[in-house]
Amino acid sequence: MAEVKLHPDWLARVGGEFEQPYMAALKTFLANERDKGKVIYPRPREWFAALDATPPQEVRVVILGQDPYHGPGQAHGLCFSVQPGVRTPPSLVNIYKEMSSDLGIARGAHGNLQHWAEQGVLLLNNCLTVEAGQAASHQGKGWEKFTDAVVAAVAADPAPKVFILWGSHAQKKAAHVVGLGAGSPHLILRAPHPSPLSAHNGFFGSRPFSQANDFLAAHGRGAIDWRLPDVPEPAAE
């Protein structure tokens, strides 16, 4: 993993994971896949983009995704987000619809969520890589253990946070993380996934954005400005 960067404050919390056997196996798997000529998304320097964009002490909201987008030019390391100039994917379109209904603000004119990440919204996928055109192709290779450790580190910090869990996959993942049980200082919001296949089963009308802001404001952590700028913000280098 020497070819990618990781924010030093995250290294202090989860850096030990890189010494674990599963991470060595994951590194070997990724190297072998690339040696076979397979295209992997996102680019290596963006594998940890969610952590680089949102240092641990700044996390106020966690949104869990499943895998990076597997189409050309889409994934850039933030779940549900796409690079500037890329068509907004259907799940994100539905997220924008719910945001508009919930908060009465205009839908995003693009699909880049860097603005959220820089306000303390950790946009974390369960797996941080995927083979081009092959959804879920890197599941079970080790990323889940690493992102479990990230979520556990966030939950262990007593500063109140909101965990937005869309779909059974995210909800099952969080159920095994220390700090999300009874007596937790955090707010957990569960709803169906925003995919067109499930959004009408309870995602629409779930009002996660206003609930998150009400909770954060009540606990002195400030509200998130969910509105997106007309022009995407560049990612920090």
Q: Letter for the amino acid at 110?
A: H
Using the Cα atoms of residue 75, residue 204, residue 231 and residue 237 in order, give the sign of their dihedral: negative
As a whole number of angstroms, the distance between CA 30 and CA 23 comes to: 11
CA distance from start to end of the chain: 18
Residue 222 CB contacts under 8 Å (≥ 6 apart), including other chains:
60, 216
Where does residue 22 rank: exposed (0-12), middle (13-18), buried (19+ CB within 10 A)? middle
Q: Considering the candidates 67, 102, 225, 230, report the single residue annotated as catalytic.
A: 67
As a whole number of angstroms, the distance between CA 133 and CA 69 comes to: 9
CB count in 10 Å sphere of residue 85: 10
Catalytic-residue membership of 148:
no
As a whole number of angstroms, the distance between CA 120 and CA 60 comes to: 5
- Catalytic machinery residues: 67
